Every structure is written in structure tokens, then in C-alpha cells.
Amino acid sequence: MQNHRFSNALWIPSPHFDERPTDEISLIVIHAISLPPELLNPLPVMAFFQGTLNHESDPYFDTLRDMRVSTHLVVGRHGDVYQAVEFDKRAWHAGRSEFGGRASCNDFSIGIELVGPEEGPFTDAQYHSLNTICSELCGAYEVDAERIVGHRDIAPGRKVDPGADFEYFRIRPSAK
């Protein structure tokens, strides 16, 4: 990792970010996305985060026309990694959210999107890449492994990703 970028990621910058209110990064949030639903291709996902999604190419995309969202990283089905926002910047991934009694999780979290159905399943390659990513992020930003959570955990009742069966044991670094 260098300059708040993951070294193994393809850099595809998003304009949808801003400055964090503080330097604190203490949470990692796992999401899942497929655009349109059930299409497991990272290209429309990255276009969505860049604000360049062709809304005429699929009727579902029209529902996203006015959305401005982003994430720090996207992990494709084959474990490919893309970065849209540097880690020291605030990506717009969590929406209305709360963790540990604190609202606005975007302020202090890193967002990671897995290309796939909202409730999985996810591939072994995605889990492998995510394990590497989480190990590096937890080390670099001193994030406790138990603070790797799903979108469903910070926005219960509103979000379900990455699903109740997500295998956190496969991505959380062990205590050293």
C-alpha cells in the first residue's frame, strides 16, 4: 500500500468523494453489488461509481440516474481489484448508517464492494483477495479485525449485503 492506494488495484478514480472530517479510519464495511441485478460484471459497477453509467443501456439503470455514490475498492468475481477512492478520502458508500453508537460511518470507514448478489454467494477468489486487502488495511490503519462488518450491520432493516451467510472468518486477520 502506498499513498492510500492498494498496490494490487487498478486505479479507476471516482469524482464522488470528499475530505474526511478527521484522519480516523476505524471500520471496514463490506458491500455487494451487481448492475443490473444478477449481472456479475464489474464494468457497469465501476461506471456507476464514476458517474458515467449509460442509463439508456438497461431499464434498471434509470432508477440510478440521480445517485452519486462511490466506494474505496471493488472486488470482481475472479478476485480482480479496482480502486475508486483513496483510503484517506471519504467515499460515499454507507448512506444512513451507524456503528457502535456513531452515525455517518462514511466519516471513519473504508468501503469495499464485492461484485455479486446482495446476499451472495461469493467466489473463493473474492474471499482470497478480500483476505489480503483486509490484512493490509487492518495493519496500515490499525483497524481491529472485529470492526470488519457488513452493510447490513451498519444499516439494519435498510440493507442486507453481504448476506447473513457471509464468511467473515475467511477475511478477518488473526490477532497477532
Give the CATH number, domain containing residue 42. Answer: 3.40.80.10
Question: Could you report the per-residue pLDDT of 142-167, keeping only the tens digit for each?
Answer: 999 999 999 999 999 999 999 999 99
Q: Report the alpha-carbon distance of residue 67 to residue 63 in Å, rounded.
A: 9
Provide the b/e sequence for 33-53 (b: ≥16 CB within 10 Å).
Answer: bbbeeeeeebebbbbbbeeeb
**How far is it, in rounded angstroms, from Cα 67 to Cα 41?**
20
Is 110 a member of any domain? yes
Please give the tally of structural domains in the chain. Answer: 1
Residue 175 placed within a domain: no
Find out whether 117 and 34 touch, Cβ atoms under 8 Å: yes
Q: Radius of gyration over alpha carbons of the chain, in Å?
A: 15
CA distances from 3 to 7, 23, 47, 59, 86 (A): 9, 14, 24, 39, 8
pTM for this structure?
0.96
Which positions are annotated as active-site residues? 113
Q: Is residue 99 part of a domain?
A: yes
Domain span holding position 135: 10-170
d(CA 174, CA 135): 9
Tens digits of residue pLDDT in 50-106: 999 999 999 999 999 989 999 999 999 999 999 999 999 999 999 999 999 999 999
